[in-house]
Amino acid sequence: MNPVEDVHASQPVSASKTQYVGHIWSVRTDTVHFGDAEVQRDVIEHPGAVAIAAVDDQDRILLICQYRHPVGAKLWELPAGLLDVAGEHPADTARRELAEETGLRADEWHVLLDIFNSPGGSSEGLRIFLARGISQLPEGRWHTGEAEEMDLPQQWVDLDAARDLVLAGHIHNGTTVAGILAAHAARNQDWTTLRPYDGSWDWRPPSRSSV
């Protein structure tokens, strides 16, 4: 029996055409071969992202509320951000995003979880960090933000209560659902499942350009 473990693999691609280049991501169409079959697959090229499960010394996780236009809703989410600064280590992106979105810093950082948000159509790889040893930055939030990030209400939620909110269908952001459940499970394992914050990320998809 094969082990239940994801493995890297690729099918031959004979052509790739850029259909759209946007502000954050692009869309390409690949011609992919499966034996004698030839199919076309649209791929959203995404720079990747990080999210932060900030847990305080009372085992509460920090959530922020942000308007999300595509789904027409204000969602409770983990602080998060795109990997859109060239050469910036994902852990440094996480520190920066925590400061920018919440005005907080953390003394302890670990990798909690790596996920693909929508691998059927997007190349987005996302790493969720666990941040502990939380304290307030003296200057508060680094930036006031704009548009959706002008006002980001915060709430510290007990991990057990956060898990219950997820299972009851009250929290819908996929990254946040994964982060809450992973943080809850890791806490119940006395945090023994955590990985080093600067560990390798072999599953982060490389950026690609069309051919």
In a domain, 162, yes or no: yes
Dihedral sign, Cα of residue 92, residue 197, residue 148, residue 84: positive
Residues 78/53, Cβ–Cβ less than 8 Å: yes
* Tokens 């999300």, located at residue: 68
Residue ranges of alpha helices (H) inside the chain are: 90-102, 159-167, 174-188
**Domain match, 38 and 140 both:** no
Summary mean pLDDT of the chain: 92
**Domain match, 90 and 115 both:** yes
pLDDT at 64: 96
In a domain, 177, yes or no: yes
CA distances to 10, 13, 31, 90, 210 from 26, in Å: 21, 18, 17, 21, 10
Question: Residue 98: helix, strand or coil by DSSP?
Answer: helix
pLDDT class for 1, splitting at 50, 70, 90? confident
Q: How many domains does the chain have?
A: 2
**Domain match, 54 and 25 both:** no
pLDDT at 143: 63
Active-site annotation, residues: 149
The pTM is what?
0.92
